[in-house]
Amino acid sequence: MEAARTKLTRVLSRIFINNVNDKAHRVMRSGSSFNGLAKYSTSAAAVVKDYEDYRKSLYGDITHKALLVDAVGTLVVPSQPMAQIYRQMGEKYGVEYSEDEILRRYRWAYGQPWGRSRLRYVNDGRPFWQYIVSSSTGCSDTQYFEELYSYYTTEKAWHLCDPDAEKVFEAIKKAGVKLAVVSNFDTRLRPLLRALNCDHWFDAVAVSAEVAAEKPNPTIFLKACELLKVKPEDAVHVGDDRRNDIWGARDAGCDAWLWGSDVHSFKEVARRIGVHV
């Protein structure tokens, strides 16, 4: 019985995804007219409600046993633009590039294949970030790099995306839903969560540098589920990157919602799970 329910959940989840995507493609082919978009929005909302109602029929009012949360871009964001920090800290080390040039070079470097390993973030990620910093600024000064590297482990560099996060996560945990961070990050993530005083919100942390797998590889999501002792189909992942977070989580068998599109706040996430805040 349990196996049949699990299989049905996965099948209907895939139908839900394909249904929404198919409608989106049809709207795009129609020229994205106002009427077409309005009809799509109404139809997509109906599909979402149907799927949520289906999960409630199986699991009750609380539709998921675990919530997985992406770190950068979902849970936390940089407090200042990266190029601004690279420029300000680099002035005393001879960095002359403008912020626009630093950003352009950063994006180029970040998009290049990382030849030393199939993973960017291995252990503390220093070799990768040294490459990024020197490529972005033209400066290979070790002291400059260490100053930047240390800065991004502090509460000065980051802040929470959602000011209501603590209250919402407390309500989610009180409802019996387990919480985990799932992030492509190096080993600085744990001290960063401590610095932001939010590490105790989570029952587990699955960080790519420790798991040796980066999103969208399903392995990191499966590891998070293993740490929480839940099945993938009982978990929903929330993240801001369609490829890494949504496709990766669904390939692992989890539900997935796109931050900034499917959901816009953790209070909305809680509501969709069935938790009242």
- Domains of the chain are 48-76+158-273 (3.40.50.1000), 80-157 (1.10.150)
Output the tens digit of pLDDT for each of the chain's 277 residues.
Answer: 555 455 555 545 554 554 444 444 444 444 555 455 455 445 556 666 677 777 766 677 899 999 999 999 999 999 999 999 999 999 999 999 999 999 999 999 998 888 767 788 889 999 999 999 999 999 999 999 999 999 999 999 999 999 999 999 999 999 999 999 999 999 999 999 999 999 999 999 999 999 999 999 999 999 999 999 999 999 999 999 999 999 999 999 999 999 999 999 999 999 999 999 8
pLDDT tens figures, 216-242: 999 999 999 999 999 999 999 999 999
pTM of the model: 0.82
DSSP string computed for 109-170: HHTS--TT-S-S--TT-HHHHHHHHHHHHS---HHHHHHHHHHTTSTTTEEES-TTHHHHHH
**DSSP symbol at 77:** E
φ, ψ (nearest 5 deg) of residue 179: -130, 140
Q: What is the CB neighbour count within 10 angstroms for residue 80?
A: 12
With a CB cutoff of 8 Å and minimum separation 6, the contacts of 118 are none
